[in-house]
Amino acid sequence: MSTFADDLLPRWRQFNALTKPRVIQLIVFCALIGMVLAVPGVPSLADVVLALKACLGIWLVAGAAAVFNCLVEKTIDSKMKRTAWRPTARGELSDMEALVFSSVLCLLGSVVLYVWVNPLTLWLTLATFVGYAVVYTVILKPLTPQNIVIGGASGAMPPVLGWAAMTGDVGPEALILFLIIFLWTPPHFWALALYRVEDYRKSGLPMLPVTHGNEFTRLQILLYTIILLAACLLPFMYQMSGWFYLVSALALSLVFCGYAWKLWKSYSDELARATFKFSLIHLSLLFAAFLIDHYL
């Protein structure tokens, strides 16, 4: 005989799955790096408390955007192996349940950011919500193969949000962090699209491998990783980081370029999958290097 708690746990897991927890963790981590770099030296207790409040608010609003994305794309998700398991795609959660959940998360996150952080961070976070959930998901994604390039601006915002949370402003350092993620996003997603091309073809989404083919996409990945390498050197050139970051960024970016080069020369699904996985390692370790370098 099932209890209320037994019924509630699977329900909670369904709602939690809609927030895309792994993606949100990376978003909050990048925002946290922006917060750390915005505070010279060792942060005070007040800085730590402010950062925790900002992380909570950003997590809530980002989760709301992810839920809204799942709601809008439920039909597309149901056609793709990678996303067919989502509760909205399977019909396990109704449209109204997903919409209410997204609205509640967005409202709570907005209150946290406005009351306990600052209005600028709230408006930037809400703009990111609209950019991802509406401009990218509803308009750009089904319209153009450049969807991930243009829509990548929303995904590149977390360090800017973190910087704004701690300073109440957006400085050039924050924009450099934005540029790095903005340039990282296309090769990251196109590597995934290469080995999931049949899924995207079936869904009807005009992803680059579907519209322009495998070889053209591989060339674009290579070109973007080369440009990304140059962008990853900007923090050192702007003197917002030191030698530890420079060596780490150079090593990580050269490896990323190496994956892209091999992918361009000789394609396989296994290599595309490995390139996609390394792209996640690249961004995570790059921002970890920022964190370590800041305190050296």
Give 233-292 pLDDT, tens digit per residue.
999 999 999 999 999 999 999 999 999 999 999 999 999 999 999 999 999 999 999 999
For the structural domain made of 9-170, what CATH number should be given?
Answer: 1.10.357.140
Q: Is 40 left (phi over 0), alpha (psi -120 to 50) or beta?
A: beta
Residue ranges per domain, the chain?
A: 9-170, 171-296
pTM score of the predicted model: 0.90
Q: What pLDDT does residue 160 have?
A: 97
Contact 105, 67 (CB under 8 A): yes
Contact 17, 87 (CB under 8 A): yes
- Please tell me which residue, 164 or 86, carries the higher pLDDT value: 164
Task: Pick from 12-16, 47-51, 78-82, 207-211 the range whose average pLDDT is largest.
Answer: 47-51
What letters, b where the CB count within 10 A reaches 16 and e where it falls short, cover 26-45? bbbbbbbbbbbbbbeeebee
Note the residue count of the chain. 296
